[in-house]
Structure 1
Amino acid sequence: MKTLIDPDLALAPGLAAIRAQFSVPTGFSPEVLAAAEAAAARPLSEHADRTDMPFVTLDPASSTDLDQAFTIERSGNDLVLRYAIADVAWFVDDGGAIDIEAWKRGTTLYLPDGKASLYPPVLSEKAASLLPKGPRAAVIFTVRVGPDGTSLLDGAERAVIRNRAKLAYDSVQAADLPPDFAAFSVRMAEAEARRGASRVDPPQQEVEAVAGGGYRLTFAPRLASEDSNAALSLATNLAVATALQEHHTGLFRVMAGPDDRAVARLRQMARGLGLTWPDALALTAFEPTLDAADPAQAAFMVALRRAGSGASYMPYHERVVPWHAAMAATYAHATAPLRRLADRYVVQAALAIANGQAVPDVVTQAFETLPPVMARADAIGGRIDRAVIDLAEAVMLHGREGEVFPAVIVDADDRGAHIQLRDLAVLASAKVTGRPGDVVDVRLVKADVEARTLGFEAA
């Protein structure tokens, strides 16, 4: 899971070790910083003036790398989203120092104590970020969403915008948002249900101090504002993907769904967690009923996220329909160019297509070479995420050796079992026997903070 909140810095020593282990960048070379300073001062000479449009942003309160701003209006029965995406390509020269460094990194890496940005902060958190102060460079995607939730790319342009308000998930009010913001989210959700999409967004994990000493790891439910905001990116990414596919170009996000064996394990786990999943109900129909505010259901959502084969990137190929099982659609990443290298090129391709222009050769070539670069970056990010969670679990349980915990077997083989504690947000290996879905009691025998490992045995 990419987000873990650690307000009391209980993880600080362990996080330093993780940064060293995975060689997390600590900054940028003088050459890259100098290029970024020069790029930040570049005049916006090819951008239309759209500062009269009432754009706002909606993000975590502390975010400064703002990729997206939006406004929504009605057009007959359609809802028209104008989605302004940070125009990173305007500031980054192909083959220049900033570009070369971005290809080495691939993505921004996030840890509870800070991030290692894809681009220097003078760009990612200032000149290229869609912050409220001053006019900002953007590519505005006009996305038309019909009553059935189908989204189409209706135009794209380079423009100068002004962000009227930096809104935060935990404090935003309905009056702060466009009048049709909620209706837009409903349309997208209903369309997902009709497609049979199985997109799952598990809650954040938090490290909380416990009275009397120690820590615990809990799930913090997603806010409704987060889900509604995600609908804007979803609509845009779907519309861009359709446009790219129709023009025989692009880079797509693809993912296979859980196989029959994985679904069977999930059913057993659901029974062990006490969840009601009727035999006749498909996984795609069961997922929308899950409530992240319930610890057992939140734990199941995490297991579900891990049950698939994982997403990857694929360039356009003739007679191949790129498919993302969780979205139940052809899908692309276009809305986070400050944080993902691939998005910069997808935005450029969509901008060209929308204006009847040829996709630049450098973009087409990048589509072929980006998949392994993004795969490596995603893998490193995933390993860091797992290491952070392992650290949090060890910190939380250190000092509780000898205690017995109820658990559910998630998976098992001849080497032991993988368990989910029923009352804590912990997944771990254990020396127990049984089948997936069995409820067992396990005793904690080790919680090694330095090694980030836990040891459980049958109680």
Structure 2
Amino acid sequence: MKTLIDSTNALIGGMAAIRRQFGVPAQFPPAVLAAAETAAHRAPTAHVDRTDRPFVTLDPATSTDLDQAFTIERSGSDLLLHYAIADVAWFVDDGDVVDREAWQRGATLYLPDGKAGLYPPVLAEGAASLLPAVLRPAVIFTTRIDAAGNAHLDGAERAVIRSTAKLAYDGVKAADLPVDFDEFARRIEAAESRRGAARVDPPEQEVDALGDGRYQLLFRPRLRAEEQNAALSLASNVAIAAALLAARTGLFRVMPEPDQKAVQRLRQTARALGLSWPDMQSLVQFEKTLNPTDSSHAAFMLAVRRASGGANYVPYRDGIVPWHAPMAATYAHASAPLRRLADRYVVRAALAVANGQPVPPAVSAAFEQLPAVMARADARDGQIDRNVIDLAEALMLQGSEGTTFEAVVTDADEHGLRIQLCELPVVARVHGQGGKPGDRIRVKLTSADPLQHTVTFERAG
């Protein structure tokens, strides 16, 4: 999901330009729409009946492309998570016109003014979405969580489910959720802490209108329900990754730790934001002290995400353990097949492995091709994200040309200085030399152009 909310439609003019610049598709070809409409009427015939289980979904209130539904039960001291994932492969055949279009797109693009889906709405927000009170085909992964929070994949099956409720992060009550929902999240979070995981989930940024054509960027901290819901996907994806690795197959999500140069830049960013980061404290240790309800801490969390080495997909290779450093685990993406192309294939492989069956050849072949496709989709998503943030910053600063700001240099190279403003969550560049990381300088805003989504500064005297 995007990290920027535009509830006032302030970005609408600049968003049109960004959509054109990055070729965001405005619609699906007629042939794809027609094929999806036909597929939407495909009745599930390879699925057992699990409509007796009290599945629920938990998402943003406006979401209609619902990938996951869940219920939790006790098994002695263990917890069993029954995680129903939309069975997209039931509606999309290898090589058909809907599949080919999905391979072109790679992933759903979420922008402040709307999304460009991976699949047509008749599937993504209709027949394949785990909407409430209707029968839906799904793949149920059952993950066992012991008292220490260790996750193990117990089984997987194709099933028909009926979600009993569409719950929203901002309105869900404890009584709406499975009895052990809190305990499940607690165990997963405790296991993460023991592993030394360093997941950083920065708050969303929101454009807020001040009046008189002026705007500000605010942070909306993640709700506790969002954090707990994330534990469901994390546990399932870790368990599925372990099962695939043991079966010597799969497609994995890998991510390195920020390198030393990035960590040094983050230390300067912390200084610019007025945060105290002791020299002997690691980045992982410092992250555990952050409070996302504090705007300075939230800005730093966003900087950490931008500083990470970048995540990639890799297929199984003999003798190599794929590693996701922020998760401190081997990790796979399987929980969002309506929104990520790769997940559809990981789900199919995990379903086969869990039932002692060979992975379909088409899936194994896809694992070799998907890294390049998903890298292209991730790159475009990242470029759009950065340009949207640049647009919002330009909108916020427009009208303040000539104003001077305190800043800290976070990096210096032959192109000039990279700076972090001290009073605003804005990262920018200043041309010229004469500075080194850690220097505190004054800069003057010379232009802020929302249409070009650019801001420029120069050194102030």
Take 1:270 and 1:302, find their aligned partners in 2: how far apart are those partners? 11
Q: Secondary structure at the match of 2:394?
A: helix
Confirm whether residue 59 of structure 1 aligns to residue 59 of structure 2. yes
Partner of 2:178: 178
Shift of 1:183: 1.1
Partner of 2:163: 163
Take 1:164 and 1:133, find their aligned partners in 2: how far apart are those partners? 6
Partner of 1:455: 456
Take 1:180 and 1:83, find their aligned partners in 2: how far apart are those partners? 14
TM-score by length of 2: 0.97
Partner of 1:324: 324
Take 2:419 and 2:175, find their aligned partners in 1: how far apart are those partners? 45
Q: Is the 8 A contact 1:270 1:437 kept in 2?
A: no
Q: Is the 8 A contact 1:269 1:436 kept in 2?
A: no
Superposition RMSD on alpha carbons, in Å? 1.3
Shift of 1:287: 1.1
Q: Is the 8 A contact 2:271 2:408 kept in 1?
A: no
Q: Is the 8 A contact 1:218 1:424 kept in 2?
A: no
Partner of 2:437: 436
Q: Residues 73-84 of structure 1: matches in 2 within 5 Å? A: 73-84=73-84
Partner of 2:42: 42
Shift of 1:430: 2.2
For 1:32, give the aligned amino acid. V
Q: Residues 4-43 of structure 1: matches in 2 within 5 Å? A: 4-43=4-43
Q: Percent identity?
A: 65
Deviates more, 1:422-431 or 1:97-106: 422-431
Q: Secondary structure at the match of 2:338?
A: coil
For 1:354, give the aligned amino acid. A
Q: Residues 398-437 of structure 1: matches in 2 within 5 Å? A: 398-431=398-431, 433-437=434-438
Partner of 1:284: 284
Q: Secondary structure at the match of 1:80?
A: strand
Shift of 1:439: 2.9
Shift of 1:34: 1.1
Q: Residues 142-153 of structure 1: matches in 2 within 5 Å? A: 142-153=142-153
Take 2:172 and 2:319, find their aligned partners in 1: how far apart are those partners? 45
Unaligned runs of 5+ in 1: none
Q: Secondary structure at the match of 2:164?
A: strand
Q: Secondary structure at the match of 2:53?
A: coil
Partner of 2:447: 446
Instruction: After superposition, give the CA deviation of every residue in 1:381-421 in whole Å (9 maximum; x if it has no partner).
Output: 11111111111111111111011222232222232222222
Take 2:4 and 2:228, find their aligned partners in 1: how far apart are those partners? 21
Take 1:176 and 1:222, find their aligned partners in 2: how far apart are those partners? 19
Deviates more, 1:409-418 or 1:443-452: 409-418
Confirm whether residue 366 of structure 1 aligns to residue 366 of structure 2. yes
Q: Is the 8 A contact 1:47 1:160 kept in 2?
A: yes
Q: Is the 8 A contact 1:217 1:392 kept in 2?
A: yes
Partner of 1:94: 94
Deviates more, 1:419-428 or 1:27-36: 419-428
Q: Secondary structure at the match of 2:330?
A: coil
Take 1:38 and 1:364, find their aligned partners in 2: how far apart are those partners? 27
Shift of 1:435: 2.7
Shift of 1:265: 2.2
| Number of residue-to-residue matches in the alignment | 459
Take 2:219 and 2:32, find their aligned partners in 1: how far apart are those partners? 39
Shift of 1:436: 2.5
Confirm whether residue 134 of structure 1 aligns to residue 137 of structure 2. no
Q: Secondary structure at the match of 1:235?
A: helix
Instruction: After superposition, give the CA deviation of every residue in 1:338-388 in whole Å (9 maximum; x if it has no partner).
Output: 000000000000000111111100000000110000000110111111111
Unaligned runs of 5+ in 2: none
Take 2:64 and 2:14, find their aligned partners in 1: how far apart are those partners? 26
Deviates more, 1:64-73 or 1:301-310: 301-310
Q: Is the 8 A contact 2:411 2:417 kept in 1?
A: yes
Q: Secondary structure at the match of 1:210?
A: strand
Q: Residues 273-352 of structure 1: matches in 2 within 5 Å? A: 273-352=273-352
Q: Is the 8 A contact 1:296 1:422 kept in 2?
A: no
Shift of 1:273: 2.2
